[in-house]
């Protein structure tokens, strides 16, 4: 498998969950989705969104984003996201980091909802009719909680350091990706390399492994997180991120970026 063959598995309109730039971002996969010409994606930032999301929005692949933020970090504002919001061409479901994790945890546990307190009184709650306020049934005094529905993405995607022939994937300390994998209907992963053996039998690695039971397909993509950092494998390419941020301020600059860094003509 390659990133492009993984991208072919993503249907138009899918609810696609992506981790943030500090947690195994699948950037090669996102570029493959642009080449595939996918449309109408509903992106879920887990819990925030970054370069991959901005790239997909700029390429016209996205109809909706649910996230608690979209940012390029030190490179500044996510320019294509900001332009799409200003133009009214993108639906945004505002959320918070704890809310997104809680909805995924509900799906992971197989329950219809989970409670969360921190949203009470917030403007976010006022604009989320799918989130409900209810009385705590275990309290004899007024005690409101917010009930968040379980959220099961159609597809979750991330880039990891390594996988083995059993489909096990090592994510190190990024255990939030295990919750995401448990909650999603399908999980597509790119990795730097394949390794021999079974990592679940290695006491040094097993704690950082997501079982192949939850992984649908793995593809090798060396430097598949670039220009984002990947754990201790390689650092972020800060110069490239600045280049992208400058180019993507205009649609013409963004198209030139796609031609040079993403589309098949550039790769050839």
Establish how many alpha carbons lie within 13 A of residue 154's alpha carbon, considering only the half-sphere containing its beta carbon. 11
Q: Which two tokens stand for residue 261?
A: 């860094």
Q: Alpha-carbon distance 19 to 231, whole Å? A: 14
**How much is the pLDDT for 264?**
75
User: What is the C-alpha to C-alpha distance for residues 189 and 196, in angstroms, rounded to an integer?
Assistant: 17
Can you name the residues that pair with 217 across neighbouring β-strands? 188
Per residue in 151-199, pLDDT (tens digit) is: 999 999 999 999 999 999 999 999 999 999 999 999 999 999 999 999 9
In the structure, what pLDDT confidence band is assigned to residue 266 with cuts at 50, 70 and 90? Answer: very low
List, for residues 119-162, the tens digit of each pLDDT value.
Answer: 999 999 999 999 999 999 999 999 999 999 999 999 999 999 99
- Please state, in angstroms and as integers, the Cα–Cα distance from residue 95 to each residue in 77, 127, 216, 226, 228, following that order: 18, 10, 28, 27, 24
Element (H, E) at 115: strand 113-116
pTM of the model: 0.95
Residue corresponding to tokens 């995401």: 180
Provide the residue ranges of all domains of the chain, joining segments of one domain with +. 3-95+152-158+176-188+225-267, 113-149
Query: Going by C-beta distance under 8 Å and a sequence separation of 6 or more, which residues neighbour residue 172?
Result: 161, 208, 231
Chosen CATH of 3-95+152-158+176-188+225-267 out of 3.40.190.10, 3.40.1080.10, 3.30.70.2190, 3.30.70.270: 3.40.1080.10
> Can you read off the two tokens belonging to residue 268?
């050839």
Say what the pLDDT of residue 268 is: 35
CA nearest to 104, candidates 44, 152, 174: 152
> Tens of pLDDT along 89-115?
999 999 999 999 999 999 999 999 999
Burial (CB count <10 Å: 0-12, 13-18, 19+), residue 159:
buried
Q: Between vectors from CA 231 to CA 157 and to CA 259, what angle results, nearest 5°?
A: 55
Q: Among 105, 119, 195, 197, which Cα is nearest to 150's?
A: 105
d(CA 95, CA 17): 14
Q: Provide the token pair at 32.
A: 């493959």
What percentage of the chain exceeds 90 in pLDDT?
97
């Amino acid at each position: 498998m390659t990133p492009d063959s993984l991208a072919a598995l993503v249907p138009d309109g899918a609810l696609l969950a992506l981790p943030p730039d500090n947690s195994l971002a699948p950037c090669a996969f996102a570029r493959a989705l642009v080449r595939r010409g996918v449309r109408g994606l509903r992106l879920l930032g887990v819990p925030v969104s970054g370069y991959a999301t901005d790239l997909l929005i700029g390429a016209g692949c996205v109809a909706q984003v649910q996230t608690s933020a979209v940012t390029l970090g030190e490179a500044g504002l996510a320019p294509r996201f900001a332009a799409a919001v200003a133009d009214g061409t993108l639906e945004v479901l505002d959320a918070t980091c704890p809310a997104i994790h809680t909805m995924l945890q509900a799906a992971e546990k197989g329950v219809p909802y989970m409670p969360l307190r921190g949203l009470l009184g917030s403007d976010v709650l006022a604009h989320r009719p799918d989130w409900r306020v209810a009385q705590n049934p275990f309290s004899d005094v007024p005690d409101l909680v917010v009930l968040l529905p379980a959220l099961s993405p159609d597809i979750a995607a991330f880039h990891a350091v390594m996988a083995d022939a059993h489909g096990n994937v090592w994510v190190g300390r990024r255990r939030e990706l295990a919750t995401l994998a448990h909650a999603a209907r399908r999980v597509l992963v790119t990795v730097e390399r394949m390794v021999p053996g079974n990592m679940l039998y290695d006491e040094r690695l097993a704690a950082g492994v997501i079982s192949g039971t939850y992984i649908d397909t793995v593809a090798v993509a060396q430097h598949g997180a670039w220009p984002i950092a990947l754990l201790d494998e390689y650092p972020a390419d800060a110069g490239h991120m600045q280049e992208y941020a400058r180019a993507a301020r205009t649609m013409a600059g963004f198209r030139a970026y796609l031609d040079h860094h993403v589309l098949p003509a550039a790769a050839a």
